[in-house]
Structures are given as structure tokens and as C-alpha cells.
Amino acid sequence: MKSLFESWLKAAVIEVQEYALMIGKVGRGLVTRPFYLRDVIEQFEAIGVGSLTVVLLTGMFTGMVLALQSGITLDQFGARSMVGRLVSASMVKELGPVLTGLMVAGRVGSGIAAELGSMVVTEQIAALRALGTDPIRKLVLPRILAGFLMVPLLTVVSSGVGMVGAWVVTVYQLKVASSVYWNSVVMGLYIQDVWMGLIKPFFIGFTIVSIGCHVGLRTSGGTQGVGRSTTNAVVASSVAVIAVDFLVTKVLITLMY
């Protein structure tokens, strides 16, 4: 039992070490040449534009169900007109960043792990190194940059669409005047809430893509290994999204409030 725990602990330490080394190489690649701008732009499209549909749908239905449920609850206190305040605070501060992160983790994290894992098992990564190309610069850095910059934009879209969805339900289902809803939305948002909703997605996006790249590059065992890596990437990045959300929220609350 003890040896099993020790082997697990050793494997975990090695994984953390390899992850830290990859992040260090990415940092060095940011400030030294060559820089593959075309690959970065391609990843912006793949991660940002490619995830737009699922983020729009998630944000819309989350806002709608949030308005529906909160309207029923607020009716007990005669405060149906405050639905907008509750929806805006919830979507901007918490649900927008977290749900966007989870959707991107499911779509992008798995895709990156599968793509890089396939390249590892078919020895394309080894071929890149043999040709003098650094796989970290060519494959990892563009993906991490795209995730870091595109997830915040996707989060803004998700939160905005969520509030529009909530507006539709509030006006047509709960029979609250449109002006009352939007005034409530504005009243419910403070500048600290907006900053929190904008800062968290940077950390979440970085975490999702870096975990996907790390798991993909550590793939072994042929096609079965690729499937295993894809599953591990989705699970690890999804848990990391929630953990990072908690940690960053705690830090921001300490600094801002």
C-alpha cells in the first residue's frame, strides 16, 4: 500500500514538474524569436470562432432558466422586478466565466489533447524536432495565447447573451416591463463585479489550454493512449476551471471589496 502511494506521489510530482517546464518554455518563446504569427491567428479562429456557437447557446439558455427560477423565488417576496439584478450579478461574476470555461474545456481541451497526442504517437513531434523546429513554439505557444485571449471575449459574449435571454423570459413569461428589467440589471452591477467577470476568464483560458497541451504532449501507448489523454484532459481542465475560479475569486474579493 505504501509503495503504491509513493509511486502515485512520484508520478504526480513528475507531472507537475513537466507542466512547469512547459510553461517556462512557453514564457521564453513569447520573448524570443522565431514567433509563428500565422499559427497564432489560426488558433484564434479555431478556439474563439469555433467555440462561439456552443457558448452562445449555453449563455442564452442559462440566462433564460436563471430568470425563470429566480422569478418564481422572488415572487414569494413580491420582488419580481428585481430579476434583472440577480441575473446580471450571477452571469457576470460567476456563471458566465465558469460555464464558458467548462464548454471550452469540453470542446477545446479535448481537441488539443487529441491533436497533440496523435502527433506524439505518430512521431510527428519527433520529426519537428529533427527538422530543428521547437514543438513548444510551433504548437503549444499559439494555442495558449489563443486560449488566454479568446476565452475572456467568449465570456463577455456569453454573459451578454445570457442577460438577453433572461430579458426575453422576464418580459414575455414573467410580464415585467422591459425598462424595469434593464434598470434592475444596471443597478445590480458594480464595477468590481465587472472587473471580476473580466479578469477570471484570462486565468481560466490559460489553465484549460495549457492542461490540454501538457496532457497531449505526454501521450503514450498508441491510439488507446490518445483516447486516454483526451479523457484526462477534459476531466483535469474541467476540475481546474472550478478550482481556479474559486482561487481567483478569493484573491479578487480580498483585493477589491
Confidence of residue 148 (pLDDT cuts 50, 70, 90): very high
Residue matched to cell numbers 471575449: 153
Coil/strand/helix, residue 36: coil
> Looking at residue 2, what is its pLDDT?
62
Write the pLDDT tens digit of every residue in 15-62: 889 889 989 988 888 888 888 889 889 999 999 888 999 999 999 999
The grid coordinates listed for 161 are 447573451
Listed in sequence order, the DSSP H helices in the chain are 2-31, 37-43, 52-75, 83-90, 96-104, 110-121, 124-130, 135, 141-172, 178-188, 191-217, 222-256
Give me the percent of the chain exceeding a pLDDT of 70. 99
Confidence of residue 233 (pLDDT cuts 50, 70, 90): very high
The grid coordinates listed for 110 are 479535448
The residue ranking higher by pLDDT, 3 or 166, is 166
Identify which of 193, 195, 156, 164 has the alpha carbon closest to the alpha carbon of residue 181. Answer: 164
> Looking at residue 83, what is its pLDDT?
87
> Could you give the C-alpha distances from 52 to 35, 44, 57, 155, 158, in angstroms and in order?
27, 12, 9, 10, 9
pTM listed for this prediction? 0.90
Q: Does the CA dihedral 12-13-19-22 come out positive or negative? A: negative
Q: What is the mean pLDDT of residues 54-72?
A: 91
| pLDDT at residue 100 greater than cutoff 90 | yes
Q: Tell me the domain boundaries of the chain.
A: 36-256
Least confident of 59-68, 73-82, 93-102: 73-82
Identify which of 136, 132, 257 has the alpha carbon closest to the alpha carbon of residue 196. Answer: 257
Confidence of residue 6 (pLDDT cuts 50, 70, 90): confident
Q: What is the mean pLDDT of residues 149-159?
A: 94
Confidence of residue 76 (pLDDT cuts 50, 70, 90): confident
Residue 89: count other Cβ atoms within 10 Å of its Cβ.
17
Confidence of residue 1 (pLDDT cuts 50, 70, 90): low
Write the pLDDT tens digit of every residue in 171-213: 888 888 888 889 888 888 888 888 999 999 999 999 999 999 9
Q: What is the mean pLDDT of residues 90-112?
A: 91
> Looking at residue 236, what is its pLDDT?
93
HSE, side-chain direction, 13 A CA sphere, residue 216: 29
Q: What is the mean pLDDT of residues 126-139?
A: 87
> Looking at residue 160, what is its pLDDT?
92
Burial class of 209 by CB neighbour count within 10 A (0 to 12, 13 to 18, 19+)? buried
* CA separation for the pair 161, 46 (Å, rounded): 21
Identify which of 228, 252, 97 has the alpha carbon closest to the alpha carbon of residue 105. Answer: 97
